[in-house]
């Protein structure tokens, strides 16, 4: 047999074999693709996915509880499904009892992380629910109540969280105070100081205390706001702190990036949280129409930001540093 005939015969046999192999696996591939498509969730209209204004007028004693809001916010309790993106990680989240902090805590646990949450003692009922959700995900839950305006407490908070979890590699500075003042003349030094210490001093103290624990690959995440870019006149002091949060994210990202520690921020627009119903947190008029001005015609829910907090903490987001991720329903920046 000539070499030419050998090669031709070899190609023919190889082609038949390949064809048989493809025909053997094609049904399985087709079945897998069909199953995947049939299991895909249906498209959801974002304008009608969640409650729209007008909302019932409601006021709770500050700092207010998510569990008593009407309608109750969605933090992803029933909807968030993890895929192991944060397996083995250790996270500390301030304001983890409600709002974006609670949504992040639920998502982090379902992605495989142990989670410590901080909150005010008055928020204990909400915090207990979060602890149960973290435990239900099979992860360690650490609850540490306390006032972040105390520098000593901030240091103890970080140390205690790291001790109980066996380390710390994600720090989410989310807790914030928001109070309405129609005029700067109505804003006392005590009230101004309260907002500054909660929203700016506390992250400063927490990050300093966390640095000895944060190894390359760790992440620091701040919660900013659309108020940093488009401030409301009655939220003068709150808006100042959110603009400062954007700046500290960008500055620290340059300082800590060379050490392998990423620093990013999330800038929500109008999100349905206890900040809106707490006494002094919003005007009655704005509360009933909250979120109506967005192109989607409604406020966001904390659950709609959970995946952003996950992305900024996960290793597959490793080139995001000094970034501010917005979620404002189509209004404001970034």
| Active-site residue set | 238
Measure the CA–CA gap between 269 and 247, rounded to whole angstroms: 18
CB 322 within 8 A of CB 254: yes
* Cβ atoms of residues 111 and 310 within 8 Å: yes
Please give the backbone phi and psi of residue 113, each rounded to the nearest 5 degrees, phi first: -95, 150
What's the token pair of residue 47?
Answer: 């304008």
The long-range contacts involving 291-296, CB below 8 angstroms and separated by at least 24 positions, are: 291/52, 291/53, 291/329, 292/52, 292/53, 292/54, 293/331, 294/269, 294/270, 294/328, 294/329, 294/330, 294/331, 295/329, 295/330, 295/331, 296/46, 296/47, 296/329, 296/330
Show Cβ contacts of residue 38 under 8 Å, excluding neighbours closer than 6 positions. none
The H-or-E segment that residue 152 falls in is helix 151-165
Residue 303 to residues 49, 60, 310, 312, Cα–Cα distance (Å): 12, 22, 12, 15
Between the CA atoms of 224, 226, 231 and 236, what dihedral angle is there, to the nearest 10 degrees?
-30
Q: What does residue 72 show for φ and ψ, rounded to 5 degrees? A: -70, 135
Residue with tokens 């099979």: 138
CA distance 322 to 246: 9
| Cα separations in angstroms, 18 against 11, 32, 199 | 10, 21, 64
């Amino acid at each position: 047999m000539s070499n030419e005939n050998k090669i031709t015969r070899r190609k023919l046999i190889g082609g038949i074999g390949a064809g048989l192999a493809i025909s053997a696996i094609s049904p399985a591939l087709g079945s897998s693709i069909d199953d995947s498509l049939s299991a895909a969730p249906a498209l959801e209209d974002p304008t009608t996915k969640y409650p729209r204004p007008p909302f019932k007028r409601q006021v709770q004693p500050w700092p207010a509880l998510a569990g008593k809001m009407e309608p109750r916010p969605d933090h992803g309790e029933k909807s968030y499904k993890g895929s192991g993106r944060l397996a083995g990680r250790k996270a500390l989240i301030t304001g983890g009892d409600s709002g974006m902090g609670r949504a992040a805590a639920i998502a982090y646990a379902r992605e495989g992380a142990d989670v410590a949450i901080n909150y005010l003692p008055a928020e204990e009922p909400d915090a207990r629910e979060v602890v149960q959700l973290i435990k239900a995900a099979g992860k360690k839950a650490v609850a540490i109540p306390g006032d972040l305006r105390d520098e000593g407490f901030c240091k103890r908070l970080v140390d205690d969280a790291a001790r109980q979890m066996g380390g710390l590699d994600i720090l989410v500075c989310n807790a914030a105070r928001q109070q309405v003042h129609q005029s700067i003349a109505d804003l006392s030094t005590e009230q101004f100081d309260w907002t500054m210490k909660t929203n700016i001093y506390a992250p400063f103290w927490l990050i300093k205390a966390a640095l000895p624990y944060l190894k390359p690959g760790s992440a620091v995440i701040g919660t900013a706001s659309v108020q940093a870019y488009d401030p409301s006149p009655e939220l003068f002091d709150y808006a100042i702190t959110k603009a400062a949060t954007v700046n500290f994210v960008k500055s620290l990202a340059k300082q800590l990036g060379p050490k392998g520690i990423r620093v990013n921020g999330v800038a929500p627009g109008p999100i349905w949280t206890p900040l809106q119903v707490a006494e002094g947190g919003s005007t009655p008029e704005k509360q009933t129409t909250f979120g109506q001005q967005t192109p989607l015609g409604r406020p966001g829910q904390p659950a709609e930001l959970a995946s952003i907090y996950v992305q900024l903490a996960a290793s597959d987001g490793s080139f995001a540093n000094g970034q501010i991720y917005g979620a404002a329903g189509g209004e404001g920046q970034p």
